Amino acid sequence: MGSLKIGVALWSLGPTPDEAALRTRLETAASIGVKGVQPWCVDGGPEHPCVLDPDRCVGEQRKALRRVVESYGLAISGFCAQLGSAKGLGGLHDREGLRARIDKTKKALELASDMGGPVVTTHPGRIPEDQADPAYQTLLESVGEVGRHAERVGACFAIETGQEPAEVLRAFLERLGLGHVRVNYDPANMLRHGVVPGVKVLGKWIVHTHAKDRHPETRKPTVGQGAVPWDEYIATLKSIGYNGWYAIEDESGSASVVESIRSGKEFLERY
């Protein structure tokens, strides 16, 4: 057995609208044999509530649900607070309704800190290569406010890779200059940009990773059965000193998702 900290992106196993559903997902994760989970923590709209939304999960309930997670022998690797707007995934680049999305993200950081998994991952919105683009300034302002709040509450806001090349994300992080804005590295998302080169570009900012793959023909996300160059990728992560989580993500929604995740876990245990 290898040395990697292997978890699962809990939403891969289904939604968590209430505590009963959360317990079901945790029980499945524990049966697969992973050591940690990354739960989803924002509502997906009125018809898709999440028990961990920070406007719903408050006060003592946060401690209680943390104990629920721990009762299954699982750690929390972090949380996902993926929002969106009419302009696309993230919405932190869109001034329309921006205040509500910033405030929700800040609350998610507070929840993450309270529950002992102080990393919140998300796609904030595509970062333009042109720094004169109005969306770039909007992202600097919104992510900057979120990042400063992350520092205040002892958490990290981790931008997920894939919407832009690694060099563009790095330039944004350097311009932002905030230690609590980091990177969640997703290798499948980076296949079009370069998986291993991206690690080398973003190395010191990587605080969390998703373990996800993509087969070039079937699009199947099972780890170890796609195009991600795992040997070189993991060796490169280790070479930069990364020793954090590999949260397996499988959003296929297929009936075989549990076996897909189990297969990915067994593959990663080789390392």
CATH of the domain at 126: 3.20.20.150
Residue with tokens 């898709």: 48
Residue with tokens 């040395």: 3
Q: CA torsion angle for 198, 201, 207, 208 (degrees, to 10)?
A: 0
Distances (CA, A) of 194 to 184, 227, 243: 15, 11, 21
Q: The pTM is what?
A: 0.97
For residues 10 and 25, is the Cβ–Cβ distance under 8 A? yes
> 11-33: buried (b, 16+ CB within 10 Å) or exposed (e) per residue?
bbbebbbeeeebbebbebbbebe
The span from the CA of 191 to the CA of 186, in Å, is 9
Structural domain tally of the chain?
1
For residues 231 and 196, is the Cβ–Cβ distance under 8 A? no
pLDDT score, position 258 = 97
Q: Give the type of residue at 260.
A: S
The span from the CA of 181 to the CA of 146, in Å, is 8
For residues 36 and 76, is the Cβ–Cβ distance under 8 A? yes
Distances (CA, A) of 138 to 145, 175, 267: 11, 13, 41
For residues 33 and 265, is the Cβ–Cβ distance under 8 A? yes
Query: Residue 151 has which token pair?
Result: 């520092």
Max intra-chain CA distance, the chain: 50
The span from the CA of 194 to the CA of 191, in Å, is 5
* Sheet with strand 245-248: strands edge to edge: 75-76, 36-38, 5-9, 245-248, 206-211, 181-185, 156-160, 119-122, 79-80
pLDDT score, position 114 = 98
- Is the Cα torsion angle 257, 198, 178, 245 positive or negative in sign? positive
pLDDT score, position 1 = 65
Domain housing 195: 5-268
DSSP 40: B
Residues of the chain with pLDDT under 70: 1
pLDDT score, position 45 = 87
